Structure 1
Amino acid sequence: MKISLIIPSFYPAVIYGGPIFSTLHTCQELAKLEDVEVYVSTTNANITTRLDVQTNKWTKFEENFFVKYYDETKVNKFSWQLFCNIWKDIKQAEIISIQTVFDTPAPISLLYAKCFRKPIVLSPRGALCHWCVNQGSRFKQFWLKYLIKPFVKNIYFHATCEAEKQDILTIFPDAKIVIIPNGVDVDSYHKNNILNKQEYIKKYVKADIESNNIIVSMSRLHAKKGFDILIQAFAEVLQTYPESILLIAGPDEGEKQNLENLINALELNNRIYLIGPMNGQDKVDFLANADLFVLPSHNENFGNVYIESLAAGTPIVASTGTPWQEVESADCGKWVDNTIEDTASAMLEMLEKDREQMRLNARILAQKYDWKNIALQFKDVFEKIVETK
């Protein structure tokens, strides 16, 4: 089975965060399965720059796994090279997996896939939630009505959770939907370096401070992520645990200055640190050696970083705008409204629990999301869709 996966940006454009890694791992594990070949069509976009990669030619990543980067004519906007050539990639595949909604490769690929009568699986990646659609609503309503809706009969939508399924049905009531969660490379998050608190602080903060509780968060610095809520909730936690610190990792997407202003206004410069992007082993160690992970996001269709934290053995506090209610029953986290009060209360409750038991529970829950299991689910769904074509 030849799979054509189309995505606006791809590895090593890690600055785009979780979706880059989740797509990479999905492709890697799918390519290991019997009778599967994966062909990724993407661009060399890398936020404000371009990746230093060969363009318009298939590059072998691994066995049965190939990537073609098209040159981005206007970075993050449009690739003329992709527009003119993507039809060739679609024509040679048996099923098309499109990993975007509000980017130009989506309608272009939908049109060509329909012309060649190829089955389509479209992954919105949270872009159809109420909060996201209402950001720039007029443009997005136009896009959905005229560039996506005409193809809905040809599409199987991929949702990562029940909540995302309902978001899709709200916009496209007759949509065909399959639910497959994102995954995590469980083994890589078990290979962490053990750091005591002083070693940890020295590595990530480079400051000479004491701390009995290390609370972390990680995502792109965007208003959607609720970091302003986290900072104010943490200020309340300090009333009970004054020697705690909060480290926030992630690239800036327009929110950093606002967060710095809030931290200054609360006079917490010596307790809250914005430490920039985090990848590779540094990211594993950052998550694994923390006491608690907190991200009160307004909305996440899945939220890769939550499962990454659990795989690293660190309990979480997630908002009800995410699909992570099962951490409550698994006893490795809290799932609460993303208000300042509820977030602070959840953090305090988690800091009072048995941390070693929380770490064990977190890793047990993460195991079911291992990429090997997720890839098998994708293959099964793809095969059934191809058979019913």
Structure 2
Amino acid sequence: MSNKRRPKILVFSDYYLPGYKSGGGMRTIVNMVERLSHKYHFYVVTRDHDGVQDREPYTTVEIDSWNDIGQARVFYLSRHNIGATTIKKLVEEVSPDVLYTNSCFSTLAIYLLKLRRLRVIEDRPVVIAPCGELSVGALELKKSKKQIFLNWAKLIRLYRNVIWKASTKLEADEVLRMNPKEPTIMVAPDLPSDKIFPEYSFESKPNKAPGRVKIVFVSRFHKKKNFNWVIPILTRLNGEVLVDIIGPIQDWDYFQETEHLISELPENIQVSAVGPVPHESVCRTMSDYHFFICPTLGENFGHIFLEAMAAGCPLLISDRTPWLNLQEKGIGWDIPLEEPEAWESALQECVDMDSEGFAELSKKSRAFVTDWLSSPELDSETESVLDHAVEVSRRNAAVA
């Protein structure tokens, strides 16, 4: 860009650092700031706590004030300060070139879009990254509530003239299905960290003996991740199977069903809920397991899949993610949920696998992530989205 001043990007994200319990949408924002702060000046407006289930305010940052967190300026909103008046004040204070939100449905995003639609704030370009919220699986959860909201949003043209950042072509199609009147959609993959688990060594992996396997599930635990679906399949496996669930419980009703299903498992199958671990410990924790499992109903990206492979864990996932043809690559399995027999076969293969076979898959998984992270296109595609929004902002300012 000819103007040497770094453009200001004001991001609205429900959760941010120092939190770690809210999932991949937050990690994408963290990674975007880390990777692109040399080119853009990032401001982040977020809540003062870590995720839906943890409402305790942070004690290591100033609440209702700006903080320097890494390469970003971050404002942590207390519960009583979340509202249109505060958001309007912050937008005016920062005077950004671009507004950015990683949700269609969050309270912060809705306040922002309503203020813009009512022309209470200047009509700056808005980039929306839906982060999987518009997938078929996600829309099935709280379906009636979401459909009422989307109908209302269409009625008042809440998303008029926004720039949609889809992480995949599939997500671009989901945006188009929701808003078929030729919206501006740009595809850019979610940004991972520039390095994942650089200290990893295959020698740290547990020994893989035929007839025994350690499998890990790492995610926020709720219905969309579909873990309970796989439990009846586990009961049909021969051999000793250990599966640990790592992550915060976000749907306790769903987890009660999980506990009931676990209680009926045969003795050779052990499934345990370990709870959350800090993000900086996730990869090291996963390196203690052989395989990663997630029969998800849908993911727009899936940072945890990259982290699992970086920890030497081949994947056992559904085919409702961008990570496909895993078996051809020798790094796992992506299996339709409509084929439970194929899941059983793949899982039994994992149980029966010997150390030599596992070493090959594990090392290929790690190599795949290392190669993928080295692609120069990762940064450039997100930069293209932000540069387009900045250019729109400057054109609008010139006309005004």
TM superposition score normalised by structure 2: 0.83
Quote the Cα distance in structure 2 between the aligned partners of 1:214 and 1:28: 33
CA deviation map 1:361-381 (0-9, x unaligned): 222322324698634422222
Distance, in Å, in 2 between the alignment partners of 1:130 and 1:270 is 32
1:101 matched to 2:104? The reply is yes
Which residue of 32, 43, 48 maps to 1:44? Answer: 48
Structure 1 residues 41, 217: closer, same or farther in 2, change over 3 A?
A: same
Asked whether the 8 Å contact 2:161–2:184 carries over to 1, the reply is no
The alignment status of 1:156 with 2:163, answered yes or no, reads yes
Task: Tell me how far apart the structure 1 counterparts of residues 280 and 383 of structure 2 sit (CA, whole Å).
Answer: 30
> Are the equivalent residues in 2 in contact too, given 1:45–1:72 (CA < 8 A)?
no
- Show the counterpart of 2:149: 143
Structure 1 residue 122 and structure 2 residue 119: aligned? no
What's the CA shift for 1:325? Answer: 0.7
| CA separation of 1:370 and 1:9: change in aligned 2, threshold 3 A | farther
Partner residue, 1:302: 301
Map 1:235-250 → 2, pairs under 5 A: 235-237=235-237, 239=238, 242-250=239-247
Partner of 1:289: 288
On the 8 A contact 1:165/1:177 being kept in 2, the answer is yes
Cα distance in 1 for partners of 2:261, 2:374 equals 38
Find the counterpart in structure 1 of residue 369 from structure 2: 366
1:384 alignment partner in structure 2 = 388
Tell me, which stretches of 5 or more residues in structure 1 are unaligned? 74-79, 201-209
Percentage of matched positions with identical amino acids: 22
**What residue identity is the alignment partner of 1:66?**
R
What does residue 207 of structure 1 align with? none
Does the Cα contact within 8 Å between 1:29 and 1:372 map onto a contact in 2? no
Q: Secondary structure at the match of 1:152?
A: coil
Cα contact 2:189–2:382 (8 A) shared by 1: no
2:187 to 161, 179, 182: 179
Tell me how far 1:282 sits from its aligned partner.
3.4
How far apart, CA to CA, are the structure 1 residues paired with 2:141 and 2:216?
Answer: 27
Q: Deviations 1:199-238 (Å, cap 9, x if unpaired)? A: x9xxxxxxxxx9832111111221211211222222223x
What is the alpha-carbon distance in structure 2 between the residues aligned to residue 326 and residue 369 of structure 1? 18
Deviations, residues 153-187 of structure 1 (Å, cap 9, x unaligned): 32111111222222211111132211222233363
Cα-to-partner distance string for 1:267-321 (whole Å, 9 max, x where unaligned):
3486222111122453212222321111001111222211211222221011022
Q: Equivalent residue for 1:252?
A: 249
Specify whether residues 188 and 129 from structure 1 end up closer, same or farther in structure 2 by C-alpha distance, changes over 3 A only.
closer
Q: 1:371 to 1:189 in 2, by over 3 A?
A: farther
Are the counterparts in 1 of residues 196 and 307 from structure 2 also a CA contact under 8 Å?
A: no
Specify which of 126, 136, 140 is matched with residue 134 of structure 1.
140
2:9 match: 3
Equivalent position of 1:320 in the other structure: 319
Relative distance call for 1:350 and 1:388 in structure 2 (3 A) is farther
Normalising by the residue count of structure 1, what TM-score does the alignment of the two structures yield?
A: 0.85
Change (3 A) 1:95 1:326: farther
Partner of 1:22: 28
For the structure 1 residues 183 and 344, does the alpha-carbon distance in structure 2 shift closer, same or farther, using more than 3 Å as the test? Answer: farther
User: CA separation in 2, counterparts of 1:336 and 1:376?
Assistant: 31
Q: Hey, what's the Cα distance between the residues in 2 that align with 1:379 and 1:263?
A: 46
How far 1:382 sits from its partner (Å)?
Answer: 0.8
Q: C-alpha distance in 2, partners of 1:130/1:81?
A: 30
State whether structure 2 residue 73 is matched by structure 1 residue 66: yes
State the alpha-carbon separation in 2 of the partners of residues 89 and 291 from structure 1: 47
Query: Does structure 2 conserve the Cα–Cα contact (< 8 Å) formed by 1:181 and 1:369?
Result: no
Q: For 2:369 and 2:185, how far apart are their aligned partners in 1?
A: 24
Asked if 1:219 is matched to 2:222, the reply is no
Alpha-carbon distance change, 67 to 146 in structure 1, aligned in 2, over 3 angstroms: same
Gap change, CA 1:144 and 1:229, over 3 Å in 2: same
1:180 to 1:350, Cα distance in 2 relative to 1, 3 A: farther
Distance 1:5 1:82 in 2: 16
Q: What's the CA shift for 1:27? A: 1.4
